[in-house]
């Protein structure tokens, strides 16, 4: 008989929020699956990709707002805290919130990979699980390491993650399904990878 080790959290959410509030501007802290994570400060190519996506989304859907670094309560009955690179939501969706908002109303979260050792665990595994569990309709992962863009849809709130994942290479056209409903030509993304 195999016994599963019980997962324990590194700290309480309240302790994490205290630490995150005191963190220097050179890092972004997140709390996913009971563990604290550090996001590197972004580079110019990373920021350019987020800016490119923001323009495309606002041009196609002007009634949406794009939030950068918006703190969301995700995973395990809101026991996680994530700061996606971008969140698309209806206009003024997060007005009145402090640093950490309920993800209700978020239509899509976006992560652009950084060149660090935590990218695989965080961006490709933990975050899609947390965002799907939170019921966010779409998770878009722009993966500079593999030069791919992955569209995660059909969130599964029971087990976390998404039931559907479509992956395309940079240079291909990618459809962001409902509730976003726009097509992206990703050719330009080839310019922003090492």
CA-to-CA distance for 139 and 125, rounded, in angstroms?
Answer: 12
Question: What backbone torsions phi and psi does residue 74 show, to the nearest 5 degrees?
Answer: -135, 165
At 38-52, the pLDDT tens digits run: 666 667 898 999 999
CA-to-CA distance for 83 and 73, rounded, in angstroms?
Answer: 9
At 62-118, the pLDDT tens digits run: 999 999 989 999 876 457 888 899 999 999 999 999 989 999 999 999 999 887 666
Contact assessment for residue 65 and residue 95, using Cβ atoms and an 8 Å cutoff: no
Domain ranges of the chain: 42-192
CA-to-CA distance for 174 and 186, rounded, in angstroms?
Answer: 7
CATH code of the domain occupying 42-192: 3.90.1570.10
List, as own/partner pairs, every contact residues 171-177 make where C-beta atoms lie below 8 angstroms and the sequence separation is at least 24, other chains included. 174/149, 175/151, 176/108, 176/138, 176/140, 176/151, 177/138, 177/151, 177/153
């Amino acid at each position: 008989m195999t016994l599963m080790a019980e997962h324990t959290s590194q700290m309480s959410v309240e302790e994490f929020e205290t630490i995150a509030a005191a963190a220097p501007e050179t890092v972004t802290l997140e709390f996913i699956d009971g563990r604290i994570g550090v996001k590197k400060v972004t580079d110019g190519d990373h920021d350019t990709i987020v800016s490119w996506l923001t323009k495309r989304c606002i041009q196609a859907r002007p009634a949406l707002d794009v939030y950068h670094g918006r703190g969301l309560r995700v995973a395990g009955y809101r026991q996680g805290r994530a700061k996606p690179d971008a969140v698309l939501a209806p206009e003024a969706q997060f007005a009145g919130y402090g640093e950490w908002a309920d993800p209700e109303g978020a239509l899509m979260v976006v992560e652009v990979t950084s060149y660090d050792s935590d990218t695989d665990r965080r961006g490709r595994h933990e975050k899609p699980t947390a965002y799907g569990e939170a019921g966010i309709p779409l998770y878009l992962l722009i993966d500079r390491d593999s030069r791919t863009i992955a569209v995660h849809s059909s969130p599964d709130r029971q087990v976390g993650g998404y039931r559907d994942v479509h992956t395309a290479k940079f240079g291909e056209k990618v459809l962001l399904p409902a509730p976003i409903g726009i097509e992206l030509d990703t050719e330009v993304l080839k310019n922003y990878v090492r």
